[in-house]
Structure 1
Amino acid sequence: MNLKSSLLVLVGLVGLSANAQTQHTSTDAPAHKVAFTHKPGTNYFVSLAGGAAAMFTRQNAPVPYKDRLSFAAALSLGKWHTPYYANRLKLVGGETYTFHTSPGNYRNDNYYVGGHYDFMFDVVNYFSSYREDRLFHLIPYVGLGYEYKFHNSVKGMPNVHALTGNAGIQLAFHVAKRVDIFLEGEATYNNLALRSNYPADQLYNSRRLTALAGLTFHVGRQGFTPVEPLDQNYIDGLQGQISKLRAENAELAKRPESCPDLELAQPAAPAADRFVADKSILFEQGKAVVSKDQLITVFDASEFAKNDGEIVVTGYVAKNESRFKGLAEKRARAVAQLLTDKYGVSSDKITVEWKEAGEAPYSAAELGWNRVVVIRSK
């Protein structure tokens, strides 16, 4: 390995060491104990719901429930920031009945529209390990918003602009890849009037309970990827390789760049002797794509192969990657394709092989090193 190649390998290893701190892996730990990647534009949802609402307390209380029920509808747009925390903007509307019972009996029918910003917490995902296809979710929430009450049937009643506070709970059932069915109960206080209000001694229109049923559609890219720092043995191994290369470069720097007389006197070394050591291309958990910081290793192997050498490309998987079918083969073929398509190595100089998890080249203590393709001279 000449000085230039050694320096390029050193740069590649340093880049891998920096990048390796965010390798992706699966985990069985509760979601609140795991860090997850957060990508813009992912995990959005839209909900449509309809149901019934009723007013409570004061002179509404003596009226039978069936006489208090009115329709309600909601449209929501939200985003899950983690598997257990989300925000949504919920637009609401419907009709409400409020009553005056003494003295005299009469009812005010009015409509309302509004919206509130909710903070949602998935209890099941918080205490359980993350699964994108989990069947049941229990999601309490609280929110703040605005509401406009208008079109009163009782003459003289003002239209009302009010701030609102709300709290509720949602039961969601995952029935398809991008679809949930949910039931939702919500309590709203809407008497923080900004302008006008109903007379307190006549019609009380402040506390409303709403029951909704609807569908949630998950739009765009979905899912979270857990992030787990690499084990210390893997990091120590990288540092060891860097130290070894630094020492080698220090020795090479002391030598003259060329010795014409020596080169004339000695025949060139056989190709096999120039392939000093196995070349290892490392991969992320569950992935078969060669990252940019590993290309220098592929390039180094291609230089050997193009100078009358033959190589064997062997793909491996770690034990915790057994669920990824054919991953070792995909890794080996990805490296072979780079050698031929990008670096111009003839395909007849490459032998492609792959091994199962039980044939990994490194021990369980060095699990990260088993996500690898090894290139050897034939």
Structure 2
Amino acid sequence: MDLKRDTVITVSSDRYAVQTNKFWDNWYIGAGGGALIFFGDHNKQQKFGERLSPNFNFYLGKSFSPGVGIRAGISGFKIVGLTQNGSHSTGEQYGEIPWEGFWLYKQEFNFYHIHADAMFNVTNLVAGFDEDRFYHVSPYLGLGWMVSRDEPIEREVSANIGVLNSFKLSKGLDLTLDVRGSMVNDRFDGELGGRRNEGFMAASIGLQYKFNKRNWSKPITTTITYDDAEFLKILDQIKKLADDNESLREQLAKARDTTITNIEVKKNMLAAPILVTFPINKSTVSNEARVNLGFFAKLIKETSPDITYSITGYADEGTGTPTINERLSRERADAIYDVLVKEFDVNPKQLKKHHKGGVANMYYNDPRLSRAVITIADILINE
């Protein structure tokens, strides 16, 4: 007899709760272009517009959660400024008034900047994840390696901080505004001056594409309910069989297996029902249970071959999740089936396997007796 059951799936309403995705989910790439302004020893003598130079960037990133991720990228192109010692000079003098007898010359050199950033999506961290949100702001910080490509070549470790602003265009595509500040050693432009450090501020507009899986799923709770009338009917049938068998009543009362001896076998007999219990979260058949199963198998083989027996696995509803209990009850039924067929040569055609997941206390209000497998002749419970 199969139990009727209803399954209710509930999606969490907690805006901060999400399921963890696989490693290859939530990756993205981006690219953009804009301008940067370099802060060197003499650049403040220039007009603002003369200090700007083009800048491009490309990056690959991954989000570990809606609020935290990492990315690695490369940016750069050209830096312009002023030099006094002639480093990276274009040869063009700047201005007509010398500074303490020294002239300043225009400076220009190419560079690239490799960097890795830790990303923090403040919008999701504060307001919770929303797949349809239009705007996200993500501050970041990180380290990099900045290299000037023209002589004199300098290579310096950089410290970086910035803000990535993203605007949703579609499920997979965002428009981005990336503002980054980077700081390196004073010698990067080939000239040591009064600064301890120098660096640049860059802003770029670009596009960011997110690979599948792009979003985050809410946690789901599955609740399974059974038809109480049918369930109680089965329990009542099992109880009546237990009451008619002294050895089984003793086994249930002591929560242990009882050895069956001195059985007279007749062809029209049925093998008496047998119950095997298991420890919490286990599906291993003990040696004591195997002894009883051996007697049980002998009866099956020496009585009518037309009789079939149901092997039904159960788990204790009070421990474990519905998913775990469903698996445990199935594995326990499989274990008893394997012992009867593989160890004691019972005909598989006489056995049927079932599993009922987690159930409430079936006997004597003792949850240990619900972590069990019951094997019984089918004809005794057919209606």
Q: What range is the shorter-chain TM-score in?
A: 0.5 to 0.7
Q: Which amino acid aligns with 1:67?
A: E
Cα offsets for 1:224-281 (capped at 9, x unmatched): 45568999xxxxxxxxxxxxxxx849667226279445x6576799x9xx8899989x
Gaps of 5+ in 1: 2-23, 153-157, 232-246, 312-375
Q: Which has the higher contact order (CA 8 A, sep 6+)?
A: 1
User: 1:126 is matched by which residue type in structure 2?
Assistant: L
Residue in 2 aligned with 1:61? 44
Residue 218 in structure 1 maps to residue 210 in structure 2: yes
Cα distance in 2 for residues equivalent to 1:249 and 1:174: 66
1:307 CA displacement? 7.7
Cα deviation digits, residues 141-173 of structure 1 (max 9, x gap): 011111111336xxxxx2221111111001112
Residue 190 (structure 2) aligned to one of 197, 219, 222: 197
Shift of 1:296: 4.8
Q: For residue 171 of structure 1, what is the aligned residue in structure 2? A: 165
How much has 1:131 moved relative to structure 2? 3.3
CA distance 1:28–1:42, change in 2 (3 Å): same
Distance change >3 Å, CA 142–CA 192, structure 1 → 2:
farther
- Count, aligned residues: 266
Amino acid at match of 1:92: S
* Equivalent position amino acid for 1:146 in 2: W
Matched, 1:130 2:135: no
Letter in 1 for 2:206: G
Higher helix share: 1
Unaligned 5+ segments in structure 2 are: 2-8, 84-93, 224-250, 273-305, 338-348, 355-380
Residue 81 (structure 1) shift: 1.6
What's 1:314 paired with?
A: none
1:285-364 matched pairs, under 5 angstroms: 292-293=327-328, 295-296=330-331
- Higher Cα Rg, which structure: 2
Matches within 5 A, 1:120-159: 120-151=119-150, 158-159=152-153
Residue 256 of structure 1: SS of its match in structure 2?
coil
Task: List aligned pairs for 1:228-307, cutoff 5 A.
Answer: 248=252, 253-254=257-258, 256=260, 259-261=263-265, 292-293=327-328, 295-296=330-331
Q: Is the 8 A contact 1:169 1:186 kept in 2?
A: yes
CA distance in structure 2 between the partners assigned to 1:211 and 1:190 by the alignment:
18
> How many Å separate the matches in 2 of 1:192 and 1:227?
51
Q: Match for residue 55 of structure 2? A: 72
1:207 aligns with 2:199: yes
Q: Which amino acid aligns with 1:148?
A: V
Q: What value does the CA root-mean-square deviation take over the aligned residues?
A: 5.1
Decide whether the 8 Å contact of 1:58 with 1:204 is kept in 2.
Answer: no
8 Å CA contact 2:164, 2:179 repeated in 1: yes
Query: Aligned letter for 2:47?
Result: P
Using the alignment, how far apart are the partners of 1:84 and 1:30 within structure 2?
12
Q: 1:278 to 1:297 in 2, by over 3 A?
A: closer
Q: CA deviation at 1:37?
A: 2.5
User: In 1, are the aligned partners of 2:12 and 2:219 still within 8 Å (CA)?
Assistant: no
Tell me if structure 2 keeps the 8 A contact 1:25–1:226. no
- Normalising by structure 1, what TM-score? 0.54
Go from structure 1 to structure 2 and tell me whether the alpha carbon gap of 1:105 and 1:279 turns closer, same or farther (over 3 Å shift): same
Relative to structure 1, is the Cα distance of residues 188 and 260 closer, same or farther in structure 2, using a 3 angstrom cutoff? same
Secondary structure at 2:192 match in 1:
coil
Specify the code of the residue in structure 2 equivalent to 1:39.
K
Determine helix, strand or coil for the equivalent of 1:87.
Answer: strand
Aligned position for 2:29: 46
* Aligned equivalents of 1:135, 1:294: Cα separation in 2: 47
Cα distance in 2 for partners of 1:109, 1:57 equals 12
Q: 1:330-359 CA deviation, whole Å, 9 max, x = no partner?
A: xxxxxxxxxxxxxxxxxxxxxxxxxxxxxx
Amino acid at match of 2:80: Y
Partner amino acid, structure 2, of 1:46: I
Aligned-partner Cα distance in 1 for 2:212–2:145:
29
CA contact (8 A) 1:89 1:116 kept: yes
| CA distance 1:144–1:169, shift in 2 (3 Å) | same
* C-alpha distance 251-88 of structure 1, shift in aligned 2 (>3 A): closer
Distance 1:48 1:294 in 2: 53
| Matching residue's letter, 2:55 | A
Higher relative strand content: 2
SS in 2 for 1:130: coil
Cα distance, 1:267–1:68 mapped onto 2, change above 3 Å: closer
What do the CA deviations read for 1:48-93 (whole angstroms, capped 9, x no partner)? 1111111236532342322222111111112112211111112112
SS at match of 2:64: strand
User: How many Å separate the matches in 2 of 1:68 and 1:167?
Assistant: 21
Q: What is the letter of the counterpart of residue 39 of structure 2?
A: F
